[in-house]
């Protein structure tokens, strides 16, 4: 039975997962907002980046179950990935504040 306690999210492995997905979503956000070819991506960057990050985190955990024989999926890894995605949006707001998308 996996350890599903809150404190297991503070292990170095889970902090690393969160950090990677924080950077991933942060880079997605900056890229989506700086581009002007796809207006929908530009204006809904936060939502799309968060959804893409969570789906990518879930996909990597599912692939560990199906493709890799020496790896196992972990619900807490997925949760750490999702928390990292959320923190990526928070860091973006802290760094850039409420920007006007036309000015970015």
Residue 21 burial (CB < 10 Å; 0-12/13-18/19+)? buried
Please list, in sequence order, all residues whose beta carbon lies within 8 angstroms of the beta carbon of residue 19, skipping any fewer than 6 positions away.
84
This prediction has a pTM of 0.82
Give residue 57's Cα distance to chain centre: 7
Q: In the prediction, which pLDDT does 80 show?
A: 93
The structural domains of the chain, with segments of one domain joined by +, span 32-104
Q: In the prediction, which pLDDT does 12 show?
A: 86
pLDDT in tens, 37-82: 998 998 899 999 999 999 999 999 999 888 877 778 888 899 999 9
């Amino acid at each position: 039975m996996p350890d599903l306690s809150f404190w297991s999210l503070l292990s170095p492995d889970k902090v690393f997962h969160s950090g990677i997905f924080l950077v991933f979503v942060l880079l997605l956000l900056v890229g989506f907002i700086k581009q002007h070819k796809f207006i929908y991506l530009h204006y809904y960057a936060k939502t799309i980046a968060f959804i893409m990050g969570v789906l990518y985190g879930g996909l990597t955990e599912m692939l560990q179950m199906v493709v890799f024989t020496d790896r196992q999926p972990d619900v807490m890894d997925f949760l750490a990935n999702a928390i990292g995605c959320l923190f990526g949006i928070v860091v973006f707001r802290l760094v850039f504040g409420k920007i006007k998308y036309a000015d970015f």
